[in-house]
Amino acid sequence: MELYDGVGEQKKSQVPMIIGICIAILLVITVLIICGIIYLKSSITTVQIDGVRNSEIEEIFYFESNDEGQQLYMPILRTSKFLNYEGYNGDYKDKSEDKTKCHVTNENETAMFTLKSNMLIKINNETEEKEYIQLDKEVFEINGELYTTVEGIEKAFNVMFYSDENYKNIDIFTMEYLIQYYATKLNLEEYTASFSDQKAIFENMLIIEENNKYGVINATTGESILETKYEQITYLPATTDFIVKSNNKYGIVSKNAEIKIKTVYDEVKTIDYQKGLYLVKQNNAYGIVTSNGSVVIAPEYKQIGIDAQKYSQNGVDNKYILLDEIIPVQNTEGLWGLFNTKGNKIVDFKYTSIGCQSTPISNSYPTVVIPSHKIIVVQKDQKYNLVTLQGEELIEGYILDSVYIKINAETEENEFYMTANNNTKVMNVEEWLTNMGK
pLDDT tens column, 14-37: 666 666 666 666 775 665 555 444
Which region among 31-45, 277-291, 292-306 has the lowest average model confidence (pLDDT)? Answer: 31-45
Angle at 194 between CA 188 and CA 263, to 5 degrees: 95
Band of residue 41 on the pLDDT scale cut at 50, 70, 90: very low
Question: What does the pLDDT read at residue 4?
Answer: 42
With a cut of 60, say whether residue 293 has pLDDT above it: yes
* Order of strands across the sheet that contains 232-236: 232-236, 241-246, 249-253, 259-265
pLDDT in tens, 190-218: 788 899 999 999 999 999 999 999 999 99
Query: Which of 383, 352, 350, 354 is CA-nearest to residue 366?
Result: 354
The radius of gyration of the chain from alpha carbons, rounded to an integer in Å, stands at: 32
Task: Return the percentage of the chain with pLDDT > 70, whole number.
Answer: 90
Which residues in 9-51 belong to E strands, given as ranges? Answer: 46-49
In the chain, ranges of CATH 2.40.128 domains: 186-292
Band of residue 302 on the pLDDT scale cut at 50, 70, 90: very high
Torsion of CA 429, 434, 437, 438, to 10 degrees: 50
In the chain, ranges of CATH 3.30.457.10 domains: 48-173
Band of residue 7 on the pLDDT scale cut at 50, 70, 90: very low
How far is Cα 253 from Cα 192, in angstroms, rounded to an integer? 22
How far is Cα 194 from Cα 344, in angstroms, rounded to an integer? 37
Question: What does the pLDDT read at residue 3?
Answer: 41
Mean pLDDT of 132-150: 94
Name the CATH architecture for the domain at 186-292. Answer: Beta Barrel (2.40)
Mean pLDDT of 66-89: 92
Torsion of CA 271, 277, 278, 279, to 10 degrees: -70
Torsion of CA 150, 151, 156, 158, to 10 degrees: 90
CATH class in words for 48-173: alpha beta
Residues 6+ apart with CB under 8 A from 357: 310, 366
Compute the half-sphere exposure of residue 361: CA atoms within 13 Å on the CB side of its CA. 15
Question: What does the pLDDT read at residue 19?
Answer: 65
How far is Cα 34 from Cα 307, in angstroms, rounded to an integer? 68
pLDDT in tens, 224-259: 999 999 999 999 998 999 999 999 999 999 999 999
Pairing type for strands 62-66 and 267-272 reads unpaired
Query: Which of 224, 186, 223, 192 is CA-nearest to residue 209?
Result: 192
Compute the half-sphere exposure of residue 438: CA atoms within 13 Å on the CB side of its CA. 21
Task: Return the percentage of the chain with pLDDT > 90, whole number.
Answer: 74
Question: What does the pLDDT read at residue 309?
Answer: 84
Question: What does the pLDDT read at residue 128?
Answer: 83
Are 219 and 211 in contact, with CB atoms under 8 Å apart?
no
- Average predicted confidence (pLDDT) for the chain: 90
| β-pair partners for 277 | 272, 290
Question: What does the pLDDT read at residue 164?
Answer: 85
Which region among 29-43, 124-138, 184-198 has the lowest average model confidence (pLDDT)? Answer: 29-43
- E strand or H helix that includes residue 53: strand 52-53
With a cut of 80, say whether residue 323 has pLDDT above it: yes
With a cut of 50, say whether residue 39 has pLDDT above it: no
With a cut of 80, say whether residue 282 has pLDDT above it: yes
Which region among 42-56, 139-153, 225-239 has the lowest average model confidence (pLDDT)? Answer: 42-56
Are 72 and 61 in contact, with CB atoms under 8 Å apart?
yes
How far is Cα 192 from Cα 174, in angstroms, rounded to an integer? 16
Question: What does the pLDDT read at residue 62?
Answer: 93
Question: What does the pLDDT read at residue 100?
Answer: 93
pLDDT in tens, 96-124: 788 999 999 999 999 999 999 999 999 99
pLDDT in tens, 327-380: 999 999 999 999 999 999 999 999 999 999 888 888 899 999 999 999 999 999
Pairing type for strands 353-354 and 365-366 reads unpaired
